[in-house]
Structure 1
Amino acid sequence: MAARDEKNDGEMTAMEEREVVVDWEEAEERKLVLKVDLYLLPLLLLAFFFLCLDRTNISNALTDNFTTDLGITTAQATLGNQLQQAGIVIFELPANLVLARVGAHRWLVFLMLAWGCVATFQCFIQNRAQYYATRFLLGAFEGGFIPGAMYLLGQYHPRSAQSTRFAIASGTSALIAAGVLTLDGVRGWSGWRWLFLIDGSMTLAFALILLALLPGAPPDTRPVHGLFSLFDERERHILQSRVQLENPPRMENPSMHFAINFFGVMPAGGLVLFGPTIVKELGFSTSKANALVAVGYYAAVPLALSLGFFASRTRLNGIASLIPFAWSCFFVGLFYHFDITRSSSTSDSGTLYALFTLVLAAMLIGQPVNNAWCSKNATNDLERSAGLALCVISSNLAGLVGQRIFPASDAPEYRPGLVAAICLYVAAILVVLAQMVQYAWCNRRASNALAQWQFVL
């Protein structure tokens, strides 16, 4: 069987063929894929969980005495979170350049150790300057982790097997916060200090597990220490060969995925950051508000997996991307309508919470579904990593702007922000449709030589 690695400069001008001998049985491959899924995937998923934990726990801290203890305003707290996103934007692409040189597994371990240290020492900050510095450093070290993880996964799984292998883990972050914030006052520390200390310490502990177990890319699958590998020589051969069999032609990767994330993630910038605060304003206690927000995160998990399964089976990734944006647009509209028609005497906190949960569940999955679509249409591993880095950059740029859409002065209704969110979701839907048309046009004009690899719609 041959794997084609073709080069073109807009139109194909040259073609190279590389023979890959399939000398294994299907049953042997299935057993090996299961081994990868039971070994590599839990490591990457747990690492992604701790990334979410340290990136988003500031939203939980804001429901405690965080601003009072540091002597800052809510606007300054928002600016600190924006500095974190700025750090991600600035270091995302440089991080991926380093990734290609030092190896994905080494770089991922270093990033996790570095941001784990910063996340832990946040518990000692005393003023605004220290808060700004730690949030920026946190973003700088977190930048590049998601594309790096997808790059490493791409060395073990061909593109057709990747769409359903990541889900959202942020719900547990909110539940942890709900419990930890009850430590407020223990040993004279505020609850938010315990939150940062415990979350950061767990990250550092898991970084040491990655150091010991995270494999390198085939053919050298040894972890960083180089002492052993859980894959033997034949397994490494199969892993490398099965990925080579799906190497696509080198075609230009469309860039509208950047715009999809920018428009689609912007409304989440404010609603995710202030989610626990919004729920608390509906009349719930601090611990209950943080726990209730977790429902939206967990509701996103089956929705994300269902969309991933749908996209994998049908190759209609554009439709899968449309669903969360259309869902969000609809329920944001209901949330806005409810705010207009309700009065203070008839307000229903339960109804508002239910609507907020439905909005949160959908807005969290638009980005990963679009990222998976971009990844599946990348033409090689480095392009996949760079494309995902651009998607992450656009998401964080959107977060920088999105946090200004929902200013504290508009609480608790946030009516101007809700109107802006509806418009942004409509824009995201239009860009998704345009991306689908572009992919369809690329497939139509592709030559017969490229028929074995087509852009997925």
Structure 2
Amino acid sequence: MQGLFHGAGSDDKDDFSLVHEGDVDKAQPITTMAASSDITSPSDSHPSSERDPSIEKKGDAVPKYEVTVTDTSDLVEPEDPDQSHGFLQLLKGTKGRRDLDAIATVRSVFDDPALARYYYPHPGYENLHQFDPSERWTYREERSVRRKTDWRIFVWILVMFFGLNIDRGNLGNAVADNLLGDLHINTNDYNNAQNMYRVGFLIAEIPSQMIGKWLGPDRWIPVQIILWSLASGGQFFMHNRAGFFACRFFIGLFMGGFIPDSILYLSYFYKKSEMPIRLALFWFVDSMSGVIASFIAYGVLHMRGVAGREGWRWLFLIEALISFVIGLCSFLFLIPGPTQTKTWWNPKGYFTEREEKIIVNRVLRDDPSKGGMHNREPITLPMLWRSLKDYDLWPVYIIGMIFEIPTAPPKTYLTLSLKAIKFSTFQVTLLTIPVTVFASINLLWITYLTERFRDISIIGVLSQLWTLPLLIVQYKMGESLSHNHWGQYALSFILLGWPSMHAAHVSWCSRLSNAVRTRAVSAALYNITIQLSGIASSNIYREDDKPLYHRGNSQLIAINVATIAAYGLAKVYYAWRNKQKRTQWDAMSGDEKARYLENSGKLGNKRLDFRFDS
């Protein structure tokens, strides 16, 4: 029995994993706890709870659990969290085929009768009535529930993300239609407008997360979508630099909390091992929305002259209307959580009672810390402060600030660069599509590799080694490439199609958090680092460095090398922290571990029984 949060989850192959299902390992029988129906709180110092007492309803019975002896020989043993998959294992997949009617329930901390009580969800947890440590389900049931969750929950998240990206990504297509010339502004103004967007994003991140945690993402996300669609539609009416700056600022302000709110929302339904590939699909939609937006732009930009307006104005307006409709529909389709799915238009709800039990118990067995707060419980200022000063997440934030910079300026300037080498407006619009598709495919496979190899840092180094030689070629051969239009495009195609680690990093933050409040805040803080990265990268290609950006490319090479070093240092740091924790934890007796857990309620990822992924 593995008494660690990190090892509580299985290597369960979800439906997007593209690998064969393997044999089920047989577990050895031990004693465990079962939930009784008339239960009271096992301890007031719940280790994963930082709950506001106001969440409890007056008159509600406080749940408790009784210790019983149960045969757990049917449980599946979790894989060793410190074991990586070798390359041959990656190629061959798992041996054999899995019996879909076998028990899929994975052994977790809830099956240790001495320590389980310290991992139980708090009495204020909204899904508590479906929590039962003795619950069992088969692989067939788990697969069915996961697919249903994908269609009912995840697909609409992707639709909303599409709405976000057509509004924030349409600026490149607008620039291809001479937006800068029509507004009488230059490339420095363009950079500053992008910075105004990012400033708005930065301002909104933490406050939006706190509002979303208080109201619930199901209420707050639709409001955000409607607000940013109105701001985006306002670009139809702008006529000068000030209006351009104002519109970009408010778009960023209203978009700021969407991504971390959505990630927190998805964590209610999925295990840790299931999040990376879905987050990769999250950003795959980001790229594909760019492809769709390019096709929309190709048609809409032909409207230049309609009602005496430029084509880019119609582009902003039509795409804002699309996201506005998505925002309205989101009020209908988003639900608070897995056991709160019944609505006025869908009285039967999304899931049956059996399916609710499977979702709740598989998620909590994988990560007991997810039962520590109510989904409508606000993050207090002390909670926020504890999350902000969590130094064990700082290595990820540092990487977040620099890992995208080597490709960010070339990506931002792609349409301008293609226009400069004499491609037409409509050629530029179409030429961006292959680049986007290539990057999207690479995002999927590299995220998949991080999960299969169970190593984010080393694969992150490999992703940076993709861009380094290409930047050196750009730096050394920029002048000769400027006379070879297709050669320049080919270099941009490979460079901008690099396998981004963005989805893996977001999942990394979630895994390192080990507390609901830190998980919510870390997603926002990581997103802040991405915006800071954007602000820095937007000042690398400057007007006085045109057209080859020789100085800027030398800076990109230096940052590329620094990012490789940052990944290596993160790997060393988390290995050291895990060794430090393991030494202290293994030295404790069973009674000492129980006493420690009883008083470790607010430690989060500082708990000695928690291990960091690296």
Aligned position for 1:331: 470
Aligned position for 1:85: 198
Listed as ranges, the matches of 1:402-417 within 5 Å are: 402-417=537-552
* Structure 2: tracts of 5 or more residues without a match: 6-45, 50-114, 121-131, 373-389, 587-592, 594-606
Match of 1:64 among 163, 174, 177: 177
Bigger drift between 122-131 and 189-198 goes to 122-131
Deviation, structure 1 residue 378: 2.5
Output the CA distance in 2 between the equivalents of 1:413 and 1:236. Answer: 58
Aligned position for 2:318: 198
**1:367 partnered with 2:524:** no
Contact 2:4 2:611 in 1 (8 A): no
Output the CA distance in 2 between the equivalents of 1:134 and 1:317. Answer: 37
Contact 2:410 2:492 in 1 (8 A): no
Q: For residues 199 and 44 of structure 1, do their structure 2 counterparts lie closer, same or farther at Cα, with a shift above 3 Å needed?
A: same
**Superimposed CA distance per residue, residues 141-182 of structure 1 (whole angstroms, 9 cap, x where no aligned partner):** 100111111111100001111111133333323343333222
Match of 2:217 among 104, 110, 113: 104
In structure 2, the residue corresponding to 1:219 is in which secondary structure? coil
Contact 1:156 1:218 in 2 (8 A): yes
Q: For residues 95 and 223 of structure 1, do their structure 2 counterparts lie closer, same or farther at Cα, with a shift above 3 Å needed?
A: farther
Aligned position for 2:555: 420
Aligned position for 1:383: 518
Output the CA distance in 1 between the equivalents of 2:445 and 2:344. Answer: 35
**Superimposed CA distance per residue, residues 350-397 of structure 1 (whole angstroms, 9 cap, x where no aligned partner):** 11101111111117x233332232223321333222112111111111
Letter in 2 for 1:360: L
Letter in 2 for 1:443: N
In structure 2, the residue corresponding to 1:255 is in which secondary structure? helix
* Structure 1: tracts of 5 or more residues without a match: 9-13
Output the CA distance in 2 between the equivalents of 1:368 and 1:215. Answer: 24
Aligned position for 1:275: 414
Q: For residues 409 and 64 of structure 1, do their structure 2 counterparts lie closer, same or farther at Cα, with a shift above 3 Å needed?
A: farther
Contact 1:336 1:418 in 2 (8 A): yes
Aligned position for 1:126: 239
Output the CA distance in 2 between the equivalents of 1:231 and 1:348. Answer: 58
Bigger drift between 228-237 and 33-42 goes to 228-237
Contact 1:216 1:222 in 2 (8 A): no
**Superimposed CA distance per residue, residues 413-437 of structure 1 (whole angstroms, 9 cap, x where no aligned partner):** 1111111111111111111111111
Aligned position for 2:403: 264
Letter in 2 for 1:386: V
Q: For residues 331 and 240 of structure 1, do their structure 2 counterparts lie closer, same or farther at Cα, with a shift above 3 Å needed?
A: same
**1:182 partnered with 2:318:** no
Aligned position for 1:255: 394
Listed as ranges, the matches of 1:182-261 within 5 Å are: 182-222=302-342, 229-247=349-367, 253-261=392-400
Deviation, structure 1 residue 244: 1.0
Deviation, structure 1 residue 40: 1.6
Bigger drift between 311-320 and 150-159 goes to 311-320
Aligned position for 1:286: 425
Output the CA distance in 2 between the equivalents of 1:81 and 1:175. Answer: 23
> Number of residue pairs matched?
448
Q: CA RMSD in A?
A: 2.7
Match of 1:313 among 449, 452, 470: 452
Contact 1:89 1:396 in 2 (8 A): yes
Aligned position for 1:16: 118
Contact 1:211 1:225 in 2 (8 A): no
Output the CA distance in 2 between the equivalents of 1:136 and 1:222. Answer: 37
What percent of counterpart residues are identical?
A: 27
Deviation, structure 1 residue 188: 1.6
Contact 1:321 1:369 in 2 (8 A): no
Output the CA distance in 2 between the equivalents of 1:88 and 1:223. Answer: 32
**1:435 partnered with 2:435:** no
In structure 2, the residue corresponding to 1:278 is in which secondary structure? helix
Structure of greater Rg:
2
**1:454 partnered with 2:611:** yes
**1:30 partnered with 2:158:** no
Letter in 2 for 1:454: R
Aligned position for 2:493: 357
In structure 2, the residue corresponding to 1:205 is in which secondary structure? helix
TM-score by length of 2: 0.68
Deviation, structure 1 residue 224: 9.7
Output the CA distance in 1 between the equivalents of 2:555 and 2:299. Answer: 34
Deviation, structure 1 residue 228: 5.8
Bigger drift between 30-39 and 160-169 goes to 160-169
Deviation, structure 1 residue 451: 9.6
Output the CA distance in 2 between the equivalents of 1:90 and 1:394. Answer: 12
Q: For residues 255 and 428 of structure 1, do their structure 2 counterparts lie closer, same or farther at Cα, with a shift above 3 Å needed?
A: same
Output the CA distance in 2 between the equivalents of 1:257 and 1:37. Answer: 28
Aligned position for 1:348: 484
